[in-house]
């Protein structure tokens, strides 16, 4: 009959019937089980971070916990993301995502869409203190449909001059709005005075070609083509100027064409007027036939949160 006082004693030889087991052995076994449980918990946590990084769980009340990890953003930059314990807004839907700096952000749908270089993590819905978490899969297989996935420029409106039109009361240094023949317009939004009024809340691209002919080849014409963005609560004579083109004439003819480099966000009711300004020109100038401009709905640009002129960002008015 053996006396078993520790686990080591059992490891050195097999236990047999009639052996005496001491309390120290029982305590050793309990301690080993506790160490094993701790190791399993640690491995489980590590596996979660490897297999399910950025796991979102409810902590208490409106508080949530988002685990960390490493992520490759849409622009190819790899970021190390630290865990976060933010609080969601009650009676609202919040979106959890990682921004371009590698920070965990909670925001509404408008804030999320402005952050184009992001990784969506979860949607959190809170109602009267009850929190529901819908975690996004970090990887999924999709049937890629080019027709529905690729963003395109959608034509909205088009107008052109049917016949040459003299600029009345011509004076250098003054802006002249370009009007377009009433029955030579397509789409919605451009009136007979050449004013485009947006029908939707969207980013817009404008392509313009304004040709002008002077009564004399001397002096050489020098002019600028601009578009003025006028918010719906502003007077039509105001607005924010975006220069499209600047040039000089050749043989009495001046053509100004181009487009706005940055898509401009227009709300429904915002307006755009096309205007030319001559720094030098003869006393008589005409807008030629087939001068035109087209308006397109543009895909959302990759601005993210970069500081840009207010005219290029959605307004909150």
pLDDT of 89 > 50? The answer is yes
- pLDDT computed for residue 136 by the predictor: 77
Determine how β-strand 253-259 pairs with β-strand 196-197.
unpaired
Structural tokens at position 214: 């002077």
Give the lowest-confidence range in 26-30, 42-46, 80-84, 194-198.
42-46
Structural tokens at position 245: 């083109």
- pLDDT computed for residue 308 by the predictor: 43
pLDDT of 150 > 70? The answer is no
Give the lowest-confidence range in 24-28, 170-174, 260-264, 271-275.
24-28
Confidence category of residue 173, pLDDT binned at 50, 70, 90? confident
Identify which of 185, 207, 196 has the alpha carbon closest to the alpha carbon of residue 298.
207
pLDDT of 79 > 90? The answer is no
Identify which of 225, 231, 226 has the alpha carbon closest to the alpha carbon of residue 241.
226
Q: What CA–CA distance (Å, rounded) separates 317 from 313? A: 12
Interval 194-218 mean pLDDT: 89
Average pLDDT in the chain: 79
pLDDT of 29 > 80? The answer is no
- pLDDT computed for residue 52 by the predictor: 61
- pLDDT computed for residue 313 by the predictor: 44
Confidence category of residue 78, pLDDT binned at 50, 70, 90? confident
Identify which of 154, 141, 118 has the alpha carbon closest to the alpha carbon of residue 302.
118
pLDDT of 314 > 60? The answer is no
Q: What CA–CA distance (Å, rounded) separates 85 from 65? A: 4
% residues pLDDT > 90 (the chain):
17
Identify which of 267, 262, 195, 279 has the alpha carbon closest to the alpha carbon of residue 231.
267
pLDDT of 224 > 80? The answer is yes
The residue behind tokens 């480099």 is: 261
3-state per-residue secondary structure call for 202-226 = EEEEEEEEEEEEECCCCCCCEEEEE
Give the lowest-confidence range in 50-54, 252-256, 288-292.
50-54
- pLDDT computed for residue 311 by the predictor: 46
pLDDT of 148 > 50? The answer is no
Confidence category of residue 180, pLDDT binned at 50, 70, 90? confident
First to last CA, the chain: 90
219: cis peptide before it, omega within 30°? yes
The residue behind tokens 């520790």 is: 6
Give the lowest-confidence range in 47-56, 76-85, 148-157, 205-214.
47-56
Structural tokens at position 280: 């030098």
Q: Are 203 and 299 in contact (CB under 8 A)?
A: yes
């Amino acid at each position: 009959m053996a006396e078993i006082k520790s686990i080591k004693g059992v490891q050195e030889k097999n236990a047999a019937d009639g052996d005496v087991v001491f309390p120290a052995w029982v305590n050793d076994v309990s301690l080993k089980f506790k160490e094993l449980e701790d190791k399993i918990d640690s491995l489980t946590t590590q596996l979660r971070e490897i297999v399910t990084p950025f796991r979102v769980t409810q902590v208490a009340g409106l508080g949530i916990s988002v685990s960390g990890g490493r992520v490759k953003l849409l622009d190819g930059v790899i970021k190390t993301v630290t865990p976060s314990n933010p609080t969601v807004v009650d009676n609202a839907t919040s979106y959890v995502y990682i921004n371009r700096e590698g920070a965990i952000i909670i925001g509404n749908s408008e804030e999320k869409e402005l952050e184009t270089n992001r990784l969506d993590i979860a949607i959190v819905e809170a109602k009267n203190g009850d929190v529901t978490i819908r975690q996004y899969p970090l990887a999924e297989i999709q049937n890629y449909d080019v027709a529905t996935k690729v963003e395109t420029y959608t034509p909205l409106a088009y107008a052109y001059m049917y016949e040459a039109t003299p600029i009345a009361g011509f004076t250098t240094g003054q802006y002249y709005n370009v009007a377009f023949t009433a029955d030579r317009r397509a789409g919605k939004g451009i009136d007979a005075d050449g004013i485009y009024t947006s029908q939707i809340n969207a980013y817009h691209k404008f392509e313009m070609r304004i040709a002008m002919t002077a009564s004399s080849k001397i002096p050489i014409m020098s002019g600028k083509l601009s578009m003025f963005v006028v918010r719906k609560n502003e007077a039509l004579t105001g607005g924010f100027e975006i220069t499209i083109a600047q040039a000089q004439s050749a043989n009495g003819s001046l053509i100004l064409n181009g487009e706005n480099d940055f898509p401009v966000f227009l709300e429904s009711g915002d307006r755009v007027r096309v205007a030319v300004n001559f720094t030098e020109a003869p006393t008589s100038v005409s807008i030629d036939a087939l001068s035109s401009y087209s308006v397109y709905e543009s895909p959302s640009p990759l601005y993210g949160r970069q500081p840009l002129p207010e005219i290029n960002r959605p307004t909150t008015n």
